[in-house]
């Protein structure tokens, strides 16, 4: 059975809640039922926008999943500035990104922290989008596959095969995040296929065939169709292009391009 693509819009630290409401309303108008049958779609606003976006999605019956960009791994406690997975679950959040390259590079998140978050997200009934990817230096040194493999194995430690089968892994080369440089469709496919092999080697063939693997890194309407045509690319984790409703809709509608 073909894996249904998941297109996720990561709004990062952009848009106040008024702007977020406008964007989700425009996106709701830009996408029709056929678009949302062909792809699963999620949006990942900043924490301050989550409740506002959730209200619009519910009130207007827009079949787009609400996502979060990050969470802590504890349910509660003295962690000033953090948000727990239990809090996100109460807002009907479906997907939570864990280990985005910016969290790893800027905020020093380790593979062990990412793994703790993945397990906490699952415990609270949500689906992790676990991100992995190499730096330019690692790629040029021929270490890209080894780095991604280590991130996947460590990030999904203590996760059952059934759980792995139902989560999402996002391959996002760090050198392509926000740079305008996109991995070629051949390179994206090669690494997504590598991720699938790593899953198969560690959690079995069924998990490897079921897990959805997104590509992230300067995805736009102009390159979405080619990227998404690759057999092991099951969706996209979209950054800047998701802040424009028409551009993000083009990515969701890649099958028509």
Catalytically annotated residues: 100, 172
Alpha helices in the chain (DSSP H): 17-30, 33-38, 50-59, 85-90, 101-107, 111-123, 136-140, 144-155, 161-165, 185-203, 205-210, 221-228, 245-252
- Per DSSP, the three-state class of 60 is coil
Q: Rounded to whole angstroms, how far apart are CA atoms 27 and 25? A: 5
Q: What are phi and psi of 37, to 5 degrees?
A: -80, -35
The answer to whether residues 180 and 218 touch, using CB atoms and an 8 Å cutoff, is yes
User: Residue 8 is inside which H or E element, if any?
Assistant: strand 6-10
The answer to whether residues 152 and 198 touch, using CB atoms and an 8 Å cutoff, is yes
Q: Rounded to whole angstroms, how far apart are CA atoms 216 and 174? A: 9
Q: Rounded to whole angstroms, how far apart are CA atoms 64 and 208? A: 26
Q: What are phi and psi of 237, to 5 degrees?
A: -105, 110
Sign, CA torsion 137/128/155/208:
negative
User: Residue 217 is inside which H or E element, if any?
Assistant: none
């Amino acid at each position: 059975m073909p894996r249904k693509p998941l297109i996720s819009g990561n709004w990062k630290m952009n848009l106040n809640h008024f702007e977020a409401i406008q964007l989700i309303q425009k996106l709701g108008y830009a996408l029709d039922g056929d678009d949302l049958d062909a792809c699963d779609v999620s949006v990942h606003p900043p924490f301050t926008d989550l409740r506002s976006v959730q209200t619009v999605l519910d009130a207007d019956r827009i079949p787009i999943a609400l996502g979060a960009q990050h969470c802590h791994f504890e349910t509660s406690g003295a962690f000033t500035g953090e948000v727990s997975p239990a809090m996100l679950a109460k807002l009907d959040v479906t997907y939570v990104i864990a280990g985005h390259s910016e969290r790893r590079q800027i905020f020093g998140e380790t593979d062990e922290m990412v793994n703790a978050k993945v397990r906490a997200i699952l415990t609270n009934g949500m689906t992790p989008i676990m991100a992995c990817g190499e730096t330019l230096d690692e790629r040029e040194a021929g270490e890209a596959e080894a780095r991604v493999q280590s991130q996947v194995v460590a990030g999904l430690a203590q996760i059952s095969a059934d759980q792995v089968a139902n989560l999402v892994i996002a391959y996002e080369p760090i050198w392509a995040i926000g740079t305008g440089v996109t991995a070629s469709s051949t390179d994206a496919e090669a690494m997504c296929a590598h991720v699938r092999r790593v899953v198969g080697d560690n959690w079995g063939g069924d998990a490897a065939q079921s897990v959805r693997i997104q590509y992230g890194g300067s995805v736009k309407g102009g390159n979405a169709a080619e990227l998404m045509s690759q057999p092991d690319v099951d969706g996209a984790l979209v950054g800047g292009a998701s802040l424009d409703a028409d551009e993000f809709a083009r990515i969701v509608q890649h099958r028509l391009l």
